[in-house]
Structure 1
Amino acid sequence: MSALLEVSGVSVTFDGFRAINNLSFEIGPAELRAIIGPNGAGKTTFMDIVTGKTKPDEGRILWGELGRSLLKMNEAQIAREGIGRKFQKPTVFEDQSVQENLLMALKKDRGPFRVLFWKPAGEDLDRVADLAEEIGLAEELTRKSGELSHGQKQWLEIGMLLAQEPRLLLVDEPAAGMTPAEREHTTEILVEAARTRAVVVVEHDMEFIRRLDCRVTVLHEGSVLAEGSLDHVTADQQVIDVYLGR
């Protein structure tokens, strides 16, 4: 199976500091992957590069079956290609209901006039109901998003990304600040999402990663230090020295 995203030989330097150093990484079209590593390992910069926020000094990033270069695209074009990113802090429209947030996020033609006169069709409402079911907010559709718990806001934001039908979802520390029950449900959402798309989860919480039960990539000083199952990478002496031994 060919890769959906292929990063090869990528490096990026900020003011003399090499944040990413000859990094190579690939992920298949329906795969769940966790990325771990100490602070400063390059996890956030990696996501910045894939989403077009940061341009690397060297290397290539190929996307999709045709192997098109992401480096020739800007952030908006990359988002339209189907790469979605969720940051640590949830950003939802707090004064709008859960249903309204999901409707706004649906993948639609967003010309200026269409936005002004757009009314959701039955199929839009059905899609939103399905999404709400998938993220565990089916009972909260009419609630204002600002009233949701921290974990529920995280789910809503994941739902808003899923509404855009991404082929690759980048998720930054989804379990932070969640209750054990919320973390359990977050695991289910991400595992389910990865059945039909690539999902990359950057996380520090080892127990959460164990629940994801997926391939793990360990970054250190901007390069891949180890890759494999969680048991495999946590038994690696280099990983223990630079990350787990802290």
Structure 2
Amino acid sequence: MSALLEVSGVSVSFDGFRAINNLSFSIGPTELRAIIGPNGAGKTTFMDIVTGKTRPDSGTVTWGEKGISLLKLSEAEIARAGVGRKFQRPTVFEDQTVAENLTLALKSPRGPLAALWFHLTGAGRQRVEELAAKVGLTDHLSRKAGELAHGQKQWLEIAMLLAQEPKLLLVDEPAAGMTLAERELTTAMLVDLAKSHAVVVVEHDMDFVRRLNCRVTVLHEGSVLAEGSLDHVTADPQVIEVYLGRG
């Protein structure tokens, strides 16, 4: 299987500190991957580079079958190419309903103001209902997003990302602040999404990572320290020393 995303030999420094150090990473078109590592390992910077927020000093970031260089695209162009990112804190329009949030997110040429007054019919309404069903919010379409529980807001934001029809989802610490029941539902959701998307999950919660049951990449000082199953990487003496042993 050819890679959907290929990061090769990427390095970037900030004021003399090398945040990413000759990093190479790839993910297939339908794959679930967890990224773990201590604070300062380069996890956020990695996502910043892939989404165009940060430009590396060296290396390449290629995308899709045609090997398009993401480093030549703007953040907006990268998003339109199919890279979606969900930050740790949910960013939804709290005064709008779930349905209105999803309507705003639908991939279309409409501007945001026009979308607020747009009444869905036909295919658009069906798409909103499909997105809500995918994240368990079918019964909450008429509720304001601000009334939702924390976990439900996280799911709404995932649905809003899906509305943009991404090929790759970068998801930052989805388990943070969730109840056990919400975590279990989120696990099932991400596993299901990986059947049709590439999904990269940055997470500190080892129990959550274990439930994902996927390949794990451990970052340390901006490089890949270990890679494989969770059991494999957590048995690695270097991983124990620099990450797991700190707790």
Q: TM-score of the superposition, structure 1-length normalised?
A: 0.97
d(CA) in 2 for partners of 1:47, 1:36:
13
1:118 to partner: Cα distance: 4.1
Q: Which moved more, 1:121-130 or 1:173-182?
A: 121-130
The residue that corresponds to 1:56 in the other structure is: 56
The letter of the residue matching 2:134 is E
d(CA) in 2 for partners of 1:99, 1:117:
12
SS at match of 2:169: strand
The letter of the residue matching 1:143 is R
d(CA) in 2 for partners of 1:45, 1:181:
30
Contact 2:2 2:65 (C-alpha < 8 Å) held by counterparts: yes
Residues 146, 114 of structure 1: CA spacing in aligned structure 2 closer, same or farther, 3 A cutoff? closer
SS at match of 2:33: strand
Provide, for residues 186-226 of structure 1, a one-character-per-residue CA deviation record: whole Å limited to 9, x for no partner.
11111111110100000000000001000000000000000
The letter of the residue matching 1:17 is F
Provide, for residues 147-173 of structure 1, a one-character-per-residue CA deviation record: whole Å limited to 9, x for no partner.
001111000000100111100000000
The letter of the residue matching 1:230 is L
Q: Which moved more, 1:119-128 or 1:216-225?
A: 119-128
Aligned pairs (5 A) from 1:97-246: 97-110=97-110, 115=115, 118-246=118-246
Unaligned runs of 5+ in 1: none
Aligned pairs (5 A) from 1:66-105: 66-105=66-105
The letter of the residue matching 1:126 is Q
Residues 102, 114 of structure 1: CA spacing in aligned structure 2 closer, same or farther, 3 A cutoff? closer
The letter of the residue matching 1:140 is H
d(CA) in 2 for partners of 1:171, 1:222:
19
1:120 to partner: Cα distance: 2.0
Q: Which moved more, 1:134-143 or 1:38-47?
A: 134-143
SS at match of 2:243: helix
The letter of the residue matching 1:121 is T
SS at match of 1:10: strand
Unaligned runs of 5+ in 2: none
1:123 to partner: Cα distance: 1.1
1:115 to partner: Cα distance: 4.8
Contact 2:37 2:243 (C-alpha < 8 Å) held by counterparts: yes
1:119 to partner: Cα distance: 3.6
The letter of the residue matching 2:91 is T
Measured on the aligned residues, the alpha-carbon RMSD in Å equals 1.3
d(CA) in 2 for partners of 1:115, 1:104:
6
The letter of the residue matching 2:51 is T
The letter of the residue matching 1:131 is L
The letter of the residue matching 2:135 is I
1:135 to partner: Cα distance: 0.3
Q: TM-score of the superposition, structure 2-length normalised?
A: 0.97
The letter of the residue matching 2:72 is K
Provide, for residues 82-127 of structure 1, a one-character-per-residue CA deviation record: whole Å limited to 9, x for no partner.
1000001000000100111011111112358965874422111111
d(CA) in 2 for partners of 1:98, 1:29:
29
The letter of the residue matching 1:218 is V
d(CA) in 1 for partners of 2:155, 2:117:
28
d(CA) in 1 for partners of 2:111, 2:129:
25
Residues 170, 113 of structure 1: CA spacing in aligned structure 2 closer, same or farther, 3 A cutoff? closer
The letter of the residue matching 2:7 is V
